[in-house]
Amino acid sequence: MKKKESTNFLLDDTDISILGHIQEDGRMSNSKLAEQVNLSETPCWRRWKKMEEEGYIEGYAAKLNRKKLGFQVSGFTLVTLGSHEVENTEPFEDFVAEANWILMCHCIAGGADYIVQVVAKDLDEYFERISSMRRVKGVSAIQSNVSVKEIKNTFQLPLE
């Protein structure tokens, strides 16, 4: 039996299976989920709620089709700051938190300090967006890479 440990809560194979199923379909009913994991509904619901309470499940969302919604451009921008003092990192991280067109931002090791995913309706809008990022206090350089073909885009974690 696999065990994954949190602060004080152990996941067993059934919990992992529940997470796998709701990760694939967050709208799955408890009755269908219980059937899938070979539990009756009440114990299944209790496990599900416990994993929410313990923070294994952070929320539920619909996956939207960005192209159908008009966001034809997706790009990845490497951002370098002049220094790593709070006076530089804080304005940039505040900017990222407020910009709804930034889908993802990670502080990274390597030649740059951050990698940011930006979506835009077209290349002109993409240029405007990365230009506004470049003007944030503390940003010393950016390097953008525009995606020409999306191969994989998932939020599903490998639970096996």
Domains defined for the chain, CATH in brackets: 4-53 (1.10.10.10), 73-146 (3.30.70.920)
> How many Cβ atoms from other residues are within 10 Å of residue 57's Cβ?
17
- The predicted pLDDT at position 87 comes to 86
For the chain, report the end-to-end CA distance as a whole number of angstroms: 11
Average pLDDT over residues 154-159: 91
Average pLDDT over residues 62-67: 93
- The predicted pLDDT at position 47 comes to 97
Q: Which band of pLDDT confidence, cut at 50, 70 and 90, is reported for residue 7?
A: low
124-142: per-residue pLDDT in tens?
Answer: 999 999 999 999 999 999 9
Averaged pLDDT score across all residues of the chain:
93
The answer to whether residue 1 scores a pLDDT higher than 50 is no
pTM: 0.84
